[in-house]
Chains A and B, each alone.
Chain A
């Protein structure tokens, strides 16, 4: 049976997401997302504007937040702390990975 080829989309095609889009795609409510923005855990590209716009990075964070909320029954404050720590861990792991790549390996 011939299987049709499906083209993929890059996640950064989600360049501009409204609060409603982010809620629909992440599983969090608009109220929960607003609280996370207030805590600084999610940062819109236009924080000072009344109508927030979010990028693909925010969608990944929001999905993680939804997963943590469901799996650990965390409230918003707890979510914000967990997300901040996870972001730090992620950055450290990326730096570690890059440094290891640049270190000479063993020859023998």
Chain B
């Protein structure tokens, strides 16, 4: 079991008062709470802060923690010989639990409900895990392997950490941030209590070509000035393979060309659309011939894209 210095996590000395502990927690909670904070690793940092506060705010738990002695953070350690008897009720196995697990069930100096002879059903905890998937996975559906490391009670009521491997199918049409539920795959219930659930949060990897808005996709479509002016048939990538798109003559920059049903599938039926946003790109290096042709075009054309500048400023004169 690795030692965690809860005082140091809250930025406090070991002699801190309950009031100091509360103040320190409140300040750090505002800074790192995932509902409020945009700091990097906020969720992880908040978890550490909350765990430290949970133990130190309770005088019984704090006393038990102080009795573990002072060690280097992150260092493997064992509690003093009598610690388990005094605070744990029954002997613990200290090898495969986390420090937070040790204090989680501690109330009034003994472990509650999990002692031999207790018949109260205890429901298992719910857990959350994030699955990082690609747009291609969303398009086709996919199977992901999950590994979770959770505290569980064994048959004799001792807490220990268990690694579990799960395999689940992610259906087509999920969106970024979507939550899915795996019923009964969370923490095991005890004494006949129901198992908790596992919640799966979906996080989409950014795609090199497509941007997502709901179930619609957006793609930048570069075209040449002559393609925009004359019209053209161009190949456009989609998640289902390339598609031929007609760029109408006289297409202007910023125009959105809609490819219906080429977006992401919706969960129950239908599909979103793909929008190709036209961008007119001018070659930066011209051959002599190209330069000559462009100059001729400049000479013969009467097209003025800035006519409205004169109109707007002439009102003022």
A residues whose Cβ falls under 8 Å from a Cβ of B: 3-11, 13, 60, 64, 67-68, 71-72, 82, 86, 97-98, 100-102, 104-105, 107
Contacts and interface: CB of A to CB of B under 8 A. Distances in A.
B264 to A, nearest CB: 12
Given A98-B213, A104-B279, A6 B167 contact: yes
Contacts, number: 75
A5 B167 contact: yes
A10 B168 CA distance: 13
Contacts of A72: 26, 29, 33
A98 B218 CA distance: 10
A102 B277 contact: yes
Contact of B166 (A6, A68, A102): A6
A8 B29 contact: no
Contact of A10 (B46, B211, B222, B267): B267
Interface stretch (B96-104, B175-183, B309-317): B175-183
Contact of A100 (B143, B182, B211): B211
26 contacts: A3-B165, A3-B167, A5-B143, A5-B168, A5-B169, A6-B168, A6-B185, A8-B168, A8-B182, A9-B180, A9-B181, A9-B183, A11-B179, A11-B180, A60-B179, A71-B50, A72-B29, A82-B35, A98-B214, A101-B213, A102-B218, A102-B256, A102-B277, A104-B254, A104-B279, A107-B281
A104 B220 contact: yes
A104 B275 CA distance: 11
Interface size class, chain B = 35 or more
A26 to B, nearest CB: 11
Contacts of B64: none
B212 interface: yes
A interface, over-half SS: helix
Nearest to A99: B213
B212 A7 contact: no
Given A4-B167, A6-B166, A7-B168, A104 B180 contact: no
Interface of B: 26, 29, 33, 35, 46, 50, 143, 145, 165-171, 178-183, 185, 200, 211-214, 216, 218, 220, 222, 254, 256, 267, 275, 277, 279, 281
Contacts of A67: 35
Contact of B222 (A64, A97, A107): A107
Contacts of B183: 9
A50 B150 CA distance: 41
Contact of B171 (A8, A86, A100, A102): A8
A11 B177 CA distance: 12
A64 B128 CA distance: 14
A104 B219 CA distance: 8
Residue picked from A9, A64, A71, A100, most chain B C-beta under 10 Å: A71
A58 B19 CA distance: 35
Contacts of A98: 213-214
- Kindly name the residue among A4, A8, A60, A107 whose own CB sees the greatest number of chain B CB atoms within 10 A: A8
Q: Name the 9 nearest CB pairs between A and B, nearest first.
A: A101-B211, A8-B180, A101-B213, A98-B213, A9-B181, A3-B167, A6-B168, A104-B277, A101-B218
A64 B214 CA distance: 23
B112 to A, nearest CB: 19
Given A71-B33, A102-B218, A8 B277 contact: no
Given A8-B200, A9-B181, A98-B214, 10 more contacts: A3-B166, A5-B168, A6-B166, A6-B168, A8-B170, A11-B181, A60-B179, A101-B211, A102-B213, A102-B218
